[in-house]
Amino acid sequence: MYKRQKLEDYINLRGVLKYIEERRHEDGGYCFVSLLNETNINDTYYAVKIYDLLGMEVSEKEKTIRFLHKSLKPQQAAVAISMAVEGLAILGAKDLAKEGLSLVFKKYKPLEGEFAIGLGGSEEFGTATPLEATYWVLRAFKAVDYRLSSEGKERIKNFVENFRKENAYGVNQATTTMTYQAIFALNSLGYGVPKTKHFHRCEVHGGFTEVPYSLPPYLEPTFYALRALKLLGEKPRYVKGHIQFIRTLQNPNGGFRRSLEMGISNFQNTYRALRALNDILSF
């Protein structure tokens, strides 16, 4: 309740809840395009995360549990399966969530040097990163309390370190998304996290950018940068600017877009906006 009251001071939270609830379908799944009945793991996962962040029960929770459980299929990508596993765990269905691990292990095999690079199912805007599957798989492991072997941890750590660019991470250059995914992974595995100035170099007076000293800011690097600073025990410099940036991204339908200029609402951006705002207010 406290989180809701805190967020309500800055955004139209009733609008957010109306936006989400209007996009729930009879099968228990969600689809961010209200006119379509194409319920999917991604939107359903983010609906669950929004309700969880706000300390609220998912409407007709058992239907959503059944939907996510039925969505655990071999043809799904590692990212989608991992999202479903985490979603089930959040909803209190840990036994069903653990069933999904067998599908994860068919696609993500660190001991064999297979890290699910290039598979479909990216939840990111436009393209997947090489660390995306690792990030989501480790989230799923954490959600069901699965413990990797020491060798498994070491293999994943070495894979992550392949992308280090001084004290940040990327392919051709360091990016905010990959740097957060890397330090999240290292922290989850119990390894030390490198101190980095990357996130402060991407900080502007309202929001964060994907690469240092660039414009414009977008919601996804803002979300990842704030998550990273929290993990690193650091604070952003422009708190009021970031709050205003996030507030400006709310659309009339209650959901959030990714950029100041234009964009439609979707569930992942709506969750990121709420989570980022909650993080800022707790620094």
What tens digit of pLDDT does each residue of 107-121 get? 999 999 999 865 555
Mean pLDDT on 62-78: 96
Interatomic CA distance for residues 220 and 211, integer angstroms: 12
Interatomic CA distance for residues 18 and 253, integer angstroms: 8
- Residues 103, 76 contacting (CB under 8 angstroms): yes
Residues 175-196 have pLDDT tens digits of 999 999 999 999 999 999 989 9
pLDDT band at residue 126 under the 50/70/90 scheme: very low
Total count of residues recorded for the chain: 283
Residue with structure tokens 């001084």? 166
- Residues 230, 279 contacting (CB under 8 angstroms): yes
